[in-house]
Amino acid sequence: MASFADLGLSKTTLDSLAHLGYQQPTPIQEQTIPLLLEGRDVIGQAQTGTGKTAAFGLPMVDYVDPSDPDVQAIVLTPTRELCIQVTQALRAYGEGHGLDVTAIFGGAPIREQASRLKAGSQIVVGTVGRVLDMINRHHLFLDQTRYVVLDEADEMLDLGFLEDVETILRRAPMGRQTALFSATVPPEIRRLADTFMHDPVEIKVRAATLTIDTVEQFFVEVADREKPEALVRVLRDERPRQAIVFARTKIGVDRLARRLGDAGVRVKALHGDMSQGQRDGVMIAFKSGRERLLVATDVAARGLDITGVSHVINYDIPNSPDIYVHRIGRTGRAGESGRAVTLITPKQRRELEAIERHAKTELEEWSADGAKQARPRREQRADRETRRPRHTKPHDREGAYVKLVVGAGRGDGLEPADVVGAVVDNTRLENADVRNVRVLERFSFVEVPESRAAEVAEKVSGKRVRGTELRVEVTSRR
């Protein structure tokens, strides 16, 4: 396997990578970086978690001239969350070069972003709508932009942004270098590439397969009020070299970090309400190994692409199996083994089983000495089935869930954690009662117990999140 030094990157960039704790390139980085350094156009078919941000970001920071204040490179992203993640990564990669990286996205003051652009910025990372808006307002000029990246192009297509992307590409010079990254390449994306890219090299990599061979996966069943003590016990017995502890909400992250601190466990918190400088500082300290434990929300931790994480601990079980896969995929990387421990309450057994089906694996019950329980989970489930009447349906035991629609979404700066927080903070529901959160561009979905749905709709409607007044309605039953 090649090292970063073998790929042709500058010494300044290599020094930044060493400081951040990057050890070896991922497959997409190894294949893409030399091509981009040669000036070739690239289509990278890759999913989240493959290291694509560094694949295009490292050549980018080597390409731009820090003495030139013009915008020389731009990254288009479909969402505010990805925009922030990419900006954080590029700032870390380009720190030694003295580069200025500006993020522009909706839900933030235009005047402040325009001021940063006017002051000079070599790299811009932005959501499609806000970039086009800034161009039309004559705050952003792409005349000297010769390095363009389209990140998660298929999601831009799903959100209806492709026409705006084409408009932006037409504003950049004809002789630009273009890199396009997408988990899938549907016909519309293929046509975009044929129109706006020059003889692109296609690279296709798969995310590392999540198997029990690389990540040992356990669960701890505990009452909700006993979860903090259980987490402390897990951390002390496991003694992780470096661990990320995931909580669902920003409030939950702060609360948990305080409780761990009170128990004598040193941790750093990471969530979206922290300032840009605070987040950058925490991420750099964690990547460099100066901090061992991090408590974070999913969105805030997206920029952490490192191989040194020995443990992932799900303090709150994820809202969806996909999020579980992304979370524990942060350990067991680059040929190293990892361990993942998920805390669940007794009524979250069904959600655990859904995760097992999705990840095609079985979680074993964690024990204090770190050993697996003797009996496989399938035998434990079989015992529960024999004790339960076979005609009983799952929702007869735990209560049915219904879907609510929230009249706000990504375009309003909303994140999944914001939806969960709005429900939990304004009702007596717990995090575990809020499921299957999906945030789209203009609206969001969330599932809550049917018996509480009307109450949630009434109590959350009218509340303001990120400056947007929420409107919540009950839709069809799950």
* 351 and 403 part of one domain: no
Q: Is residue 393 part of a domain?
A: no
Amino acid at 428: R
* 194 and 243 part of one domain: no
* 459 and 331 part of one domain: no
* 69 and 146 part of one domain: yes
* 196 and 222 part of one domain: no
Beta bridge partners of 42: 179, 201
Examine the fold and report which residue of 359, 387, 415 is the final residue of a domain before the chain moves on.
Answer: 387
Is residue 58 within 8 Å of 9, Cβ to Cβ?
Answer: yes
Provide the 3-class DSSP secondary structure of residue 478. Answer: coil
> Which residues contact residue 397 at a Cβ distance below 8 angstroms, ignoring those fewer than 6 apart?
388
> Which residues contact residue 378 at a Cβ distance below 8 angstroms, ignoring those fewer than 6 apart?
362
CB count in 10 Å sphere of residue 466: 15
3-state helix, strand, coil in the chain (%, to 5): 45, 20, 35
Return the sign of the alpha-carbon dihedral for residues 301, 212, 365, 353: positive
pLDDT of residue 128: 93
pLDDT of residue 235: 93
* 283 and 381 part of one domain: yes
* 167 and 87 part of one domain: yes
Q: Quick check: pTM over 0.95?
A: no
Which among 111, 58, 57, 102 has a CA at the least distance from the CA of 84? Answer: 102
* 317 and 341 part of one domain: yes
Q: Which two tokens stand for residue 172?
A: 């950049």
Provide the 3-class DSSP secondary structure of residue 195. Answer: helix
CB count in 10 Å sphere of residue 112: 9
pLDDT of residue 408: 87
Q: Is residue 210 part of a domain?
A: no
Could you tell me the CATH number of the domain that includes residue 28? 3.40.50.300
> Which residues contact residue 200 at a Cβ distance below 8 angstroms, ignoring those fewer than 6 apart?
40, 41, 42, 43, 178, 180, 193
Is residue 291 within 8 Å of 265, Cβ to Cβ?
Answer: no
Beta bridge partners of 460: none
Residue found under tokens 């259980």: 230
* 123 and 194 part of one domain: yes
Q: Is residue 302 part of a domain?
A: yes
Spatial distance between the Cα atoms of 13 and 125, rounded to a whole number of angstroms: 19
* DSSP one-letter code for 300: G
| pLDDT tens by residue, the chain, 478 residues | 688 999 999 999 999 898 887 878 988 999 999 999 999 999 998 866 678 899 999 999 999 999 999 999 999 998 887 898 899 889 999 989 999 999 999 878 899 999 999 999 999 999 999 999 999 999 999 999 999 999 989 888 877 889 999 999 999 998 899 999 988 888 899 999 999 999 999 998 865 544 445 788 999 999 988 999 999 999 999 999 999 999 988 888 999 999 998 888 899 998 877 876 787 788 878 877 888 999 998 766 655 666 678 999 999 988 767 678 778 877 876 667 789 999 999 888 888 888 887 777 789 999 876 544 434 444 444 444 444 533 333 333 346 888 898 988 877 877 777 888 889 888 888 777 888 788 776 778 888 999 999 999 999 999 988 888 898 988 754 3
pLDDT of residue 315: 96
Amino acid at 16: S
* 337 and 238 part of one domain: yes
Could you tell me the CATH number of the domain that includes residue 415? 3.30.70.330
Which structural domain, as residue segments, surrounds residue 246? 215-387
* 129 and 17 part of one domain: yes
pLDDT of residue 349: 87
* 28 and 174 part of one domain: yes
Examine the fold and report which residue of 326, 353, 387 is the final residue of a domain before the chain moves on.
Answer: 387
Q: Is residue 293 part of a domain?
A: yes
Q: Is residue 256 part of a domain?
A: yes
Is residue 298 within 8 Å of 290, Cβ to Cβ?
Answer: no
What is the total count of domains within the chain?
A: 3
> Which residues contact residue 101 at a Cβ distance below 8 angstroms, ignoring those fewer than 6 apart?
87, 90, 91, 94, 121, 122, 123, 124, 125
pLDDT of residue 344: 94
Spatial distance between the Cα atoms of 117 and 140, rounded to a whole number of angstroms: 7
Spatial distance between the Cα atoms of 59 and 13, rounded to a whole number of angstroms: 9
